[in-house]
Amino acid sequence: MRPTMRVHAIIVAAGSGIRAGGGVPKQYRAVAGQPLLRHAAQRLLRHPAITSVSVVINPGCRALYNDAVAGLALPEPVAGGATRQDSVAAGLEALVAHPPDIVLVHDAARAFVPDTVIDALVAAFADPAVDGACPALPQIDSLRRGQNGRFSGSVDRDNLWRVQTPQAFRYPALLAAHRAAAPGQTDEVAIALAAGLTVAITPGDERAFKVTEPADFAKAETMTTYSSRAASGFDVHKFGPGDHVWLCGVRVAHDHGLIGHSDADAGLHALTDALLGTIAAGDIGDHFPPSDERWRGAASDQFLAHAAHLVRERGGIIDHVDVTLICERPKVGPHRDAMRARIAEILGLAIDRVSVKATTTEKLGFTGRQEGIAAQAMASVRLAETA
């Protein structure tokens, strides 16, 4: 295949996915902390042969889609139709103004397709006689006909294949075939063959299975490995005029306030840095610089929520967080449960995954002299890596 060829991938994600359960279409259900659709999109976006990726969705699921693909380099999604065939046609028509050379049509439910499958599809177009290519696995199990709970005959399994996606075609040929196709076609191979196109068989892979039933989500989880990461954060704020301080998201009455560009919540600031550290995303000042007037007096819960969002965008699962407040006064004990509950709320964690402690420095140093408050935090996360 010529290096200058443009390869575009369409992900079909407009279905209802009701058989898989879970209360939302299956493409938006989480596997290893990320929606199935996000896994599919990330795999295609990272493949060096694929120039661009678009997604066809049910417009009624736009909010779910926005959450699922936040931060990914994807264009405005295409509105799908009543059937898969209609949705693919919409995705193809959306490319007319800037047509690719090759188009891959992929199901969001096959989210774990390995790079080798895409490599083989792309390589197939080195043959100018090939109009399309489809990954497939040979049928190895015996096949039987049956009805009413009884077998009635056999089916010869020779030359039978289990087809997968993505299915790849020269774009002009597939567009013309779709425009001429009768309704009721199940995939692009059927449409291409009806149009007289030549479709090559390329190697499929069991990892490109289609998530269909509830048990398939458990299978998908088994394909996922995790790398554990832990990081720390530290913050200090000095006392100044005021009648309260903010600590771990809780307003605590005190005879002084804390000085800072935002609300000076040392506990949340330290924890924000800890979470950012788990994904090597800099520190709180990189994301919310004190020179930016937007953050003057800002509540620090939004800083922590932002860090948690970045962790989850990376496929991370927050396992546990721990904050130690270092001060002589105010007393933290009476507010500890409220602090744990507030952090759990911000991070979307169970409260038993949140620890808040307090200590003094035995009247030594600036905290011992009651000049300010220090906080240190630890966070542990798991980052998902699918096979």
Residues 172 and 192 in one domain: yes
pLDDT of 306 reads 95
**In total, how many domains does the chain have?**
2
Final residue of a structural domain among 222, 254, 289: 222
Final residue of a structural domain among 201, 222, 243: 222
Nearby residues of 201 by Cβ (< 8 Å), 6 or more positions away? 133, 134, 136, 161
Residues 278 and 151 in one domain: no
**Under 8 Å between Cβ of 347 and 292:** no
Residue range 190-203: mean pLDDT, rounded:
97
pLDDT of 317 reads 86
Nearby residues of 367 by Cβ (< 8 Å), 6 or more positions away? 326, 327, 328, 360, 361, 373, 374
Is the pTM higher than 0.85?
Answer: no
Residue 199 β-bridge partners? 132
Residues 294 and 165 in one domain: no
Per residue in 162-184, pLDDT tens?
999 999 999 999 999 999 999 99
* Distance in angstroms (rounded) separating the CA atoms of residues 323 and 356: 5
pLDDT of 15 reads 87
Residues 237 and 108 in one domain: no
* Distance in angstroms (rounded) separating the CA atoms of residues 332 and 368: 15
**Position 386 pLDDT exceeds 90:** no
pLDDT of 2 reads 46
Domain that holds residue 208: 7-222
Nearby residues of 235 by Cβ (< 8 Å), 6 or more positions away? 266, 267, 269, 270, 273, 374, 375
Residues 118 and 255 in one domain: no
Per residue in 45-76, pLDDT tens?
989 999 999 999 999 999 999 989 988 889 99
Residues 97 and 186 in one domain: yes
Final residue of a structural domain among 192, 222, 252: 222
The CATH number of whichever domain residue 181 belongs to comes to 3.90.550.10
Per residue in 82-130, pLDDT tens?
999 999 999 999 999 999 999 999 999 999 999 999 999 999 999 999 9
Q: Is 244 helix (H, G, I), strand (E, B) or coil?
A: strand
